[in-house]
Amino acid sequence: MKLNLNDMARCLDLPVSTVDRWIRQGRIPIHRSGNGCIFKESILEKWAFNHGLRFSLPNEERKKERNFGLTNLLPAMQVGGVFHDIKGDDVESVLKSAVDKLPVPAINKQGLYERLLEREALTSTGIGKGVAIPHPRASLPDEIDNSLITTCFLEKPIDFEAVDDRAVFVMFILLSTSIKNHLNLLSRLAFCVRDDSFVEFLRTYPDSSSLLSKIADSENLLDKVDN
């Protein structure tokens, strides 16, 4: 195979100058011809493995990167869906009927329900302003493919033992594939809720499409602040 020096260095995850020097000194099974590096993939792979180095061709690398990327709020909410008029008079019954609506067929819903309750027993997930974010303590990498947030508007506000003691009227059930994703989604959601106008908007019980477009706006704002 033939690659140019810069790509070669990227494949080996080494500085260009190191690869250049190693080729010159004959320490790596690569031949130079002009700016090209000629090598046999299998030999180089074995060599890299024996020397504790990484070697992967450029296209394989990109695939890996996508898996490690973080999910944003909007796609998670799109997967999770938006539901109105969730019935129930207390935390347990509300969570029970919300879990039944979750668009995740493969999951053990009874188990998930118990895990959500377990988390609530620790301390309430009502974060104030009438919003609650129920979630299980551990992430669910095996049970779901993508992180998701299911938005549930309650039929009537209930007491969630929230931090500010205000009755909760909307729940965002947060299920994530990894802790990192969980924290990322939680912090983005918290950023939205911190904005009073957003909560006012939620109190109008918006339908799915307008909620999602509002989320998209807020998220753009968030990314702008970051940059």
Partner 1 sequence: MRILRRWRHPASWTIFRLDDRLLLILIAVIVGTCSGLAAVALNRSLIAMFEWLHHFRHYWWSFIMPAIGAALSALFLDKMVKEGAGHGVPEVIYSVSRYGGLMRFRSSFSRLISSCLTIGSGGSAGPEAPVVMSGAAIGSNIAKLFSLNDRQRVTIVGCGAAGAISSIFNAPIAGMVFSIEVILGEWKAVNIVPIAIASVAGTEISRILQGNQIAFSHRLFHIGHLDIVACIGLAIISAVASVLLTRLLRSMHGVSKKAPFPIWVRAAAGGCAVGIIGIFLPIVLGEGYHPLRTMIEGAYTQGLGIVTLAVFAKILATSLTLGWGGSGGIFAPCLVIGSLAGLTYHRGLVLLWPSVPWVNEGCFALLGMAGLISGMLHAPLTGIFLIIEITGGYEVILPLIIVSVISTTLCHYIEPVSFYLKELVEKGQLLRPGTDARVLSDLSVQELLEKDCIIVKQNMLLRDFINIIKKSHRNYFPVEDENTGNFLGMIHLDDIRPYLFNPLMYDAVVLGQIMDTDVKVVYLDDDLSEVLRKMDVNRLFSMPVIASRKFLGMISKATLLDKYRNELMVQTDL
Residues annotated catalytic, as ranges: 135
User: Does 27 participate in binding partner 1 (rule CB under 8 A)?
Assistant: yes
* Shortest separation between residue 26's beta carbon and partner 1, angstroms: 3
**Strands lying side by side in the sheet with 131-132:** 82-86, 148-158, 168-175, 131-132, 126-128
3-state secondary structure of 160: coil
The rounded distance, in Å, linking the Cα atoms of 129 and 62 is 42
* Shortest separation between residue 195's beta carbon and partner 1, angstroms: 18
User: Does 164 participate in binding partner 1 (rule CB under 8 A)?
Assistant: no
Q: What backbone phi and psi angles, to 5 degrees, belong to 224?
A: -65, -40
Query: Which of 27, 137 has the CB closer to partner 1?
Result: 27
| 145 touches 79 (CB < 8 A) | no
User: Does 2 participate in binding partner 1 (rule CB under 8 A)?
Assistant: no
User: Does 42 participate in binding partner 1 (rule CB under 8 A)?
Assistant: no
User: Does 31 participate in binding partner 1 (rule CB under 8 A)?
Assistant: yes
Alpha carbon 141 to its chain centroid, in Å, reads: 11
Smallest CA-to-CA distance from 103 within 126, 85, 82, 127 is with 82
Binders in 59-88 for partner 1, by CB under 8 A? none
User: Does 24 participate in binding partner 1 (rule CB under 8 A)?
Assistant: yes
User: Does 58 participate in binding partner 1 (rule CB under 8 A)?
Assistant: no
Query: Which of 20, 155 has the CB closer to partner 1?
Result: 20
The rounded distance, in Å, linking the Cα atoms of 41 and 25 is 20
* Shortest separation between residue 1's beta carbon and partner 1, angstroms: 15
Q: Return the residue of 34, 35, 42, 50 that touches partner 1, per CB under 8 A.
A: 50
User: Does 225 participate in binding partner 1 (rule CB under 8 A)?
Assistant: yes
User: Does 23 participate in binding partner 1 (rule CB under 8 A)?
Assistant: yes
DSSP state of 34: T
The rounded distance, in Å, linking the Cα atoms of 18 and 42 is 21
Q: Which residues bind partner 1 (CB under 8 A)?
A: 14-15, 17-18, 21-28, 31, 50-53, 225-226
